[in-house]
Amino acid sequence: MSTDSTTTDAAATKSADPRFAGLPGRPGKIIAVHLSYASRADQRGRRPASPSYFFKPSSSVAATGSTIERPADTELLAFEGEIALVIGTPARRVSLETAWSHVGWVTAANDFGVYDLRAADKGSNVRSKGRDGYTPIGAQLIDATSVDPATLRLRTWVNGALVQDDTSAGLIFPLAQFVADLSQHFTLEPGDVILTGTPAGSSVVVAGDVVEIEVDAPTAPGAPSSGRLRTTVVQGEHGFDAALGSLPAVDDKQREDAWGTREAAGLEPAFALTPELRAKLEKAPVAGLSAQLRKRGLNNVLIDGVQPMHPDAKLIGTAKTLRFVPGREDLFTSHGGGYNPQKQAFDAVRNGEVIVIEARGDATAGTLGDILAIRAHAAGAAGIVTDGAVRDFDAVSAVGIPVFSKGAHPAVLGRRHVAWDHDITIGCGGAAVQPGDVIVGDRDGVIVIPPPLVEEVVDATLAQEDKDAWIAERVAEGNRIEGLFPMNAQWAARYAQENGR
């Protein structure tokens, strides 16, 4: 390793074990961050309010030039290029302002994981990421005092192709926050490692692939670099014994997460409201859509009791859900303040989505106000539906975003509600709503359409609208309703003749 002021050769304290050649020695603790980059959070469709962590064993560490085994009977081994912080001096209850001074070195790391093994450990990642060789670190240590932690660059190559390229400026939380936060709970000791999360671009690798990761500070004097951390994937021969523990299991959600996108995983694209489909829904009244869903056995798809803030506005989008639980003082104290799920949902809403809020039909407190409405509008949200009330009603109306609610109420959220969770199945106005469901609203109300049925239902609705318009013309001419609505064989034949059907 270089011994200049920007990279540190800690040979004097190194372990003789070659696995730890990229570190001062064997780390006592390796703490990894679950989700930390904005690009990755946007890819996953959720942003954490605060960092969350898991431990990796030091036996998982490997040096540059090592190989990593993909276990037999698994398919989803994924790389994650990361910036690794190596603690230089003990840190216990340190402030955010002083936290960086406890970091001795910065280097590159690869937080490999087998998605086939994730489900059984529910976020601890013990088996999926704790395997031998699953934490390559190195190749060189960068002196942390020589770099600005906000200007570090992280790049990853697979078989020579650049697949990740982000900087520490893209983190949701600054690097020093991880040190300060963790030091609240236990002492960070010299040699401990913090893996600070991965940006978008993480994906699946197979036997024969070569993954290289580099961390550098291109704007710092001398442009210090970790060098490239190189790992080659090989196929393992050993599987798992069902008598001892859970077996690997995958589904399409795991495949999408591991590959990064559904398309990369070779899956059918997720449902999307195309411009053509949206144009059809613009023409389709909610009453007509309701009738067609009823014909298909779906009666409980109407969000009851809500009225449009702008009666002439049409609401069309896919659901992003938010759930409130009944207000309770202690729960509001512990969960209602700060960056709570309500604010998280409004921050994470995407273009074309409708925020649908479960407030249990309780309209005796507001469920949103003007600031949140402005945020949703600025993010391109298609609208908001709540079976509760709206606070700052006139100000929200002035924002212009379509809003359906049970009316206005001046009280703040905490009077009746605690924001509890988002992006889950909820009940709004008596209707079950799942993330991604299609939401359509007009003066008649709001309806929920399961995505697989949208094309069929809207086409049938528009065809029925054409037929109903023709029937209305006949009734206006003085014809009796009997036999015309619905049409008997005679009227049906005339309709077909006049309309080329």
Looking at residue 155, its amino acid is R
Task: Convert the pLDDT of each residue in 380-424 to its tens digit.
Answer: 999 999 999 999 999 999 999 999 999 999 999 999 999 999 999
Q: So what's the pLDDT on residue 271?
A: 84
Would you state the structure tokens that stand for residue 198, as one six-digit string? 């991965």
CA-based nearest residue to 73, from 248, 241, 255, 254: 248
Task: Convert the pLDDT of each residue in 14-38 to its tens digit.
Answer: 558 999 999 999 999 999 999 999 9
Average pLDDT of the chain, as a whole number? 93
pLDDT band at 246 (very low <50, low <70, confident <90, very high): confident
pLDDT at 13 over 80: no
- Residue 370 annotated as lining a ligand binding site: yes
Query: Which one is the CATH code of 7-259: 3.40.50.1580, 3.60.20.10, 3.90.850.10, 2.40.10.220?
Result: 3.90.850.10
What is the arithmetic mean of pLDDT over 251-268? 89
What is the arithmetic mean of pLDDT over 161-176? 96
CA-based nearest residue to 430, from 410, 420, 445, 408: 445
What is the arithmetic mean of pLDDT over 162-179? 96
Q: How far is CA 70 from CA 55, 75, 208, in A?
A: 21, 8, 11
Cα 211 from Cα 231, distance rounded (Å): 5
Q: So what's the pLDDT on residue 3?
A: 36
What is the arithmetic mean of pLDDT over 68-96? 97
Would you state the structure tokens that stand for residue 249, as one six-digit string? 């299991």
Q: So what's the pLDDT on residue 499?
A: 86
What is the arithmetic mean of pLDDT over 284-304? 96
Q: So what's the pLDDT on residue 456?
A: 95
Given CA atoms 143, 106, 145, 91 in this order, what sign does their dihedral have? negative
pLDDT band at 9 (very low <50, low <70, confident <90, very high): very low
pLDDT band at 4 (very low <50, low <70, confident <90, very high): very low
Architecture of the domain made up of 275-454: 3-Layer(bba) Sandwich (3.50)
How many residues in total does the chain contain?
501
Cα 84 from Cα 193, distance rounded (Å): 7
- Residue 257 annotated as lining a ligand binding site: no
Q: Is the pLDDT higher at 300 or at 8?
A: 300
Task: Convert the pLDDT of each residue in 335-365 to its tens digit.
Answer: 888 889 999 999 989 999 999 999 999 999 9
- Residue 266 annotated as lining a ligand binding site: no
Q: Determine how many CB atoms are found less than 10 A away from the CB of residue 73.
A: 12
Q: So what's the pLDDT on residue 15?
A: 58
pLDDT at 117 over 80: yes
What is the arithmetic mean of pLDDT over 122-131? 91
% residues pLDDT > 90 (the chain): 86
Would you state the structure tokens that stand for residue 498, as one six-digit string? 């006049």
pLDDT at 49 over 50: yes
What is the arithmetic mean of pLDDT over 240-264? 90
What is the arithmetic mean of pLDDT over 4-18? 54
pLDDT at 96 over 80: yes
What is the arithmetic mean of pLDDT over 77-105? 98
Q: So what's the pLDDT on residue 174?
A: 97
Any idea where the domains of the chain sit in the sequence? 7-259, 275-454
- Residue 391 annotated as lining a ligand binding site: yes
Q: So what's the pLDDT on residue 501?
A: 67
Task: Convert the pLDDT of each residue in 369-383 to its tens digit.
Answer: 999 999 999 999 999
Token match 């192709």: residue? Answer: 161
Cα 342 from Cα 412, distance rounded (Å): 13
Which of 101-110, 113-122, 385-394 is predicted least confidently?
113-122
Q: So what's the pLDDT on residue 163?
A: 97
% residues pLDDT > 70 (the chain): 97
What is the arithmetic mean of pLDDT over 254-261? 91
